[in-house]
């Protein structure tokens, strides 16, 4: 077995889940203002000096704001192996002036956008050059430097094998190069023999360095158990981690949710886009707009938002209307 495999691969499972597809964009529909069944009181815990605006509009717990865009909830990521980062469902990445910061559900900017942070599966929230790691309060608790993983896991339908790139050499998954307890997301692509003189050769080899191969275009994604056996025979357009026990999967341009223990579809693919489940709620996009569904696939809110982030454990979420991004209580937006 090839022993050169770098230590960064210990976080491979978390990295693969986030790399398989890009977040869906906003769904543009006409929304005058959110309708609600009760009016919340302003959040007394929010600091007027630390929030973009001190008083929420009717229909919101916080906001709405037009000066920034919510990128996504930190609940969309697995707990980082180094810092754990508790209560990450209360935090979200926001984009302002081309840079990324962190804001909480009270509207408090925890980390200013000028820090231009991103997510690391090992250390959690880290700045642009990974010289700082932040906790849930925005305090610097260490330095990072793990970089971005470029490891690839490939299922070759011609060779009928699952392989992982170790320093550019594709090794059989069963060789135990990667140790993970999580299901594996693999791109479906062919490994074709070639020569090092081929101008299209990108440096990949098969089993040993003197066996050059071409990595073909991705044909989709398949799911495998940690031991390398098939979890599902289906080839998906895209796969994203949805929560412990679930994957969000795309087939024929629509999204649903798959049980990672059985490989069976829990919620049939009918949605234009799908966010991760957190608890028993997930944000999905329908023909009329964004809203929230249950694990059974039933609509739990109105489905008319322009965009929506993953909801927190206490039922709050960032949603977007024509007024901008604001925080709502899901229970106040029951479907009509």
The DSSP secondary structure of 284-333, one letter per residue, reads EEETTEEEEE-TTS-B-S-S-BSEEPPPPTTSEEEEEETTEEEEEEGGGS
- The partner residues of 65 in beta bridges, in order of sequence, read 325
From residue 73, give the alpha-carbon distance in Å to each of 14, 42, 134, 169.
16, 22, 16, 36
Q: CA–CA separation, 289 vs 304, rounded Å? A: 4
Q: CA–CA separation, 167 vs 151, rounded Å? A: 8
Task: Give me the tens of pLDDT residue by residue for the chain, a chain 336 residues long.
Answer: 443 433 333 334 333 333 333 333 433 333 334 443 333 333 333 333 344 544 677 789 999 999 999 999 999 988 887 777 888 999 999 999 999 999 999 999 999 999 999 998 888 999 988 899 999 999 998 887 655 455 789 999 999 999 999 889 999 999 877 777 889 999 999 999 999 999 999 999 999 999 999 999 999 999 999 999 999 999 999 999 877 789 999 999 999 999 999 999 999 999 999 999 998 999 999 999 999 999 999 999 999 999 999 999 999 999 999 999 999 999 999 997
Q: What are phi and psi of 330, to 5 degrees?
A: -55, -35
Structure tokens at 28: 């543009």
Spatial neighbors of 141 by CB under 8 A, at least 6 apart, are 83, 133, 134, 135
Amino acid 79: pLDDT = 80
Amino acid 149: pLDDT = 52
- The partner residues of 230 in beta bridges, in order of sequence, read 224
Tell me if 299 sits within 8 A of 250, measured CB to CB: no
Q: What secondary structure letter does DSSP report for 19?
A: H
From residue 110, give the alpha-carbon distance in Å to each of 11, 72, 103, 127, 311.
26, 15, 5, 13, 18
Q: How many CB atoms lie within 10 A of CB 248?
A: 28
Cis, bond preceding 64 (omega within 30 deg of 0):
yes
Nearest to 53 by CA among 108, 128, 97: 108
Tell me if 201 sits within 8 A of 215, measured CB to CB: no
Amino acid 182: pLDDT = 83
Q: CA–CA separation, 63 vs 58, rounded Å? A: 9
Q: CA–CA separation, 107 vs 66, rounded Å? A: 13
| pTM of the full structure | 0.78
Would residue 205 be called left, alpha or beta, if left means φ above 0 and alpha means ψ between -120 and 50 degrees? Answer: beta
Q: What are phi and psi of 271, to 5 degrees?
A: -100, 145
């Amino acid at each position: 077995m090839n022993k050169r495999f770098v230590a960064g691969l210990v976080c491979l499972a978390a990295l693969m889940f986030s790399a398989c597809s890009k977040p869906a964009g906003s769904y543009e529909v006409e929304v005058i203002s959110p309708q609600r069944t009760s009016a919340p009181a302003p959040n007394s815990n929010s600091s007027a000096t630390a929030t973009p605006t001190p008083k929420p509009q009717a229909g919101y717990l916080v906001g709405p704001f037009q000066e920034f865009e919510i990128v996504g909830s930190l609940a969309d990521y697995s707990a980082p192996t180094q810092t754990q980062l508790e209560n990450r469902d209360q935090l979200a990445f926001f984009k302002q002036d081309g840079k990324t910061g962190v804001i909480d559900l009270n509207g408090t900017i925890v980390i200013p956008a000028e820090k231009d942070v991103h997510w690391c599966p090992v250390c959690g929230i880290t700045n642009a050059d990974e010289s700082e790691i932040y906790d849930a309060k925005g305090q610097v608790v260490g330095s990072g430097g793990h970089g971005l993983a470029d490891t690839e896991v490939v299922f070759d339908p011609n060779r009928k094998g699952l392989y992982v790139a170790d320093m550019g050499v594709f090794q059989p998954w069963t060789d135990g190069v990667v140790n993970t307890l999580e299901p594996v997301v693999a791109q479906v692509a062919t490994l074709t023999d070639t020569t090092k003189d081929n101008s299209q050769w990108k440096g990949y080899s098969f089993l040993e360095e003197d066996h050059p191969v071409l990595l073909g275009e991705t044909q989709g994604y398949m799911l495998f158990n940690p031991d390398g056996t098939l979890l599902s025979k289906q080839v998906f357009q895209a796969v994203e981690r949805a929560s412990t026990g679930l994957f969000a999967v795309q087939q024929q341009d629509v999204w649903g949710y798959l049980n990672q223990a059985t490989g069976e579809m829990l919620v049939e693919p009918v949605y234009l886009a799908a966010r991760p489940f957190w608890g028993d709620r997930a944000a999905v996009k329908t023909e009329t707009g964004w809203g929230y569904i249950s694990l059974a696939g039933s609509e739990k809110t109105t489905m008319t938002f322009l965009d929506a982030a993953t909801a927190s454990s206490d039922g709050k979420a960032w949603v977007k209307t024509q007024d901008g991004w604001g925080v709502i209580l899901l229970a106040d937006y029951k479907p009509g």
